[in-house]
Amino acid sequence: MKSLHLVVFVLFILLFTACDDKKKNSNEILKYKNKTIVIIAPNFDKAITGPIRKEIKEFEDRTGAKVRVVSPSWDDMIGKIKESFTDKKINYDVFVVFSSWGGSLLGNGHAAEIPEWVKKEIEWDDILPIYKNQVLSWNKKYYFLPYDGDCINLYYRKDIFENEEYKKRFKNEYGYDLDIPKTWAEYKDIAKFFNGWDWDNDGKIEYGFAESRKKGYGTMFEFFARAAAYAKYPDKKEFYFDSNMNPKINNPAFLKALTEYINIMKYAPPQVTNFEPADVRQSFIGGDVAMILDWADAGAMAQNSKESIVKNKVGYAKLPGSNSVYNSYTKNWDVRYNNPSSISGNWVIVVNKDAVNKELAFKFAAYMTSKKMTSKYVPIGSSGINPSRYSHLQTTNLELWERNDFSKESAKEYLDVISKSLSNKNSVVDIRIPGADLYYATFNKYLNKAIKKEITPKEALDLTAKKWNEITKKLGLEEQIKLYKESLNE
């Protein structure tokens, strides 16, 4: 009899909950029916904007609202955003942006602070502190919603590294054990060792490593990931500039990093100067290289891309570090191991402070950045959505990862390494102040010239520093200093 009562009680609760959800949806439809929001997001096929396009219909059905997506090309995105600041005919309710573009929104007063009801809806406490404190906040207030949490890590051919014959040969040649590189010097040795011979016995020549070297954000961010080991002092937040907006970009640490960054290219595929991040991933999952640097996309694609021949053969590791770090305050190299994380390239969702339908805009932003939605996409390499939450990194239940072609062992190793990178208190983030696009475009130009050996590394960095000073002066030195400190939450 007690069992019957229990069954009846459970059925009543389920019926009540279903009715309550139905009533809630009906109320939302009445509230938002015939209202429209406009979203600006980059014109990508699958990554970042792809999931948004897939999920719009469910949101429209749930709310009765209409969602329109404007998708400029990558190159046109920041220009279109800035154009909307001055043209009253253009009103984007929601911005899907690179975190480095966030400064333009905030500096011009166009970002709405996240309300408490939105934080509750997206389960704010589940978001990792490194993102809350360094990506989502500005002047200790929150304006950015976490869509894609990025960090750059090392991916390597675990099966090749564990080959006993290769381990013996490596030790004979270099005098230490072949293992995950702890420093960039070891990374170079391993790249050199595996370069130019058929180490997987497929009848083709393989190479030591691949990284992005084509002009663009991917190449810049991977350079900064390397430079961090030498130039990001552990006890300081500043990296690109000092607290007075004096560029650090041409100091000895960045020069050392750029010199190495160019010299190591001899151990990559011959076409590496044309490699973007997508090409780097393809070279790795196609079995052409022993190591790559990339965002979390590569680890997922190695397991669930139809083109991958390295499934369950991949090792995951934090970025290499350095046994010394440059102290730009004392102008000396300090002998101490330095191993910062790089969390550059995050995608965030921002609601326009002047949105016509601001509550609906926040509703959509919360829908796309929710725990449920992002968890659906993080195991899928092509989605461009990487872990940003505690729940994304939990390893007690790996069913979702297994459904996306990870083995339990691979999923656990992958998530453990990302977790270690994202728990690092010493990290490098994007330039986030107004003018970030101008600072990056300048460095992009001279970095590319150095990669092509049209100018020396020193010339590239000196020219960058000079132009950065000019940009800062044009935008207003005092204002940039103020905004820079706010972006660092100081």
Please tell me the pTM assigned to this model.
Answer: 0.92
Q: Which helix (H) or strand (E) holds 67?
A: strand 66-70
Q: Is residue 22, in this structure, part of any structural domain at all?
A: yes
> Which residues are bridge partners to 67 per DSSP?
37
Residue 371: count of CB within 10 angstroms of its CB: 17
Of 99, 116, 35, the C-alpha closest to 68 is: 35
| Residue 1 covered by a domain | no
Q: Is 44 part of any domain?
A: yes
- Give the CATH number of the domain where residue 356 resides: 3.40.190.10
Q: Give just the sign of the alpha carbon dihedral 383, 389, 393, 398.
A: negative
Residue-number span of the structural domain to which 377 is assigned: 16-149+346-393
- Identify the pLDDT of residue 27: 61
Here the tokens at position 52 are 């948004």
Domain assignment present for 440: yes
Instruction: Quote the tokens at residue 278.
Output: 């997508």
> What are the C-alpha distances in Å from 282 to residues 61, 161, 203, 299, 309?
38, 20, 19, 12, 10
What's the one-letter identity of residue 120? K
CB–CB of 307/282 below 8 Å? yes
Q: What is the pLDDT along the chain (490 residues), one digit of tens a residue?
A: 445 454 444 444 444 444 544 445 556 676 899 899 999 999 988 899 999 999 999 999 999 999 999 999 988 998 999 899 888 888 999 999 999 888 878 777 889 999 999 999 999 999 999 999 999 999 999 999 999 999 999 999 999 999 999 999 999 999 999 999 999 999 999 999 999 999 999 999 999 999 999 999 999 999 999 999 999 999 899 999 999 999 999 999 999 999 999 999 999 999 999 999 999 999 999 999 999 999 999 999 999 999 999 999 999 999 999 999 999 999 999 999 999 999 999 999 999 999 999 999 999 999 999 999 999 999 998 999 999 999 999 999 999 999 999 999 999 999 999 999 999 999 999 999 999 999 999 999 999 999 999 999 999 999 999 999 999 999 999 999 999 999 999 8
Total domains in the fold of the chain: 2
Return phi, psi of residue 296, to 5°: -65, -15
Together in a domain, 321 and 449: yes
Within-domain flag for 3: no
Closest to 32 in 3D by CA, of 54, 68, 59, 53? 59
Closest CA to 94 of 72, 118, 110: 110
Residues 186, 255: one domain? yes
| Side-chain-facing half-sphere of 275: CA atoms under 13 Å | 26
Residue 400 lies in a domain: no
Residues 222 and 329 in one domain: yes
Do 197 and 241 belong to one domain? yes
CA pair distance 420, 340, nearest whole angstrom = 11
User: How far apart are alpha carbons 298 and 154 in whole angstroms?
Assistant: 10
Domain assignment present for residue 5? The answer is no
CB 220 within 8 A of CB 345: no
Residue 260 lies in a domain: yes
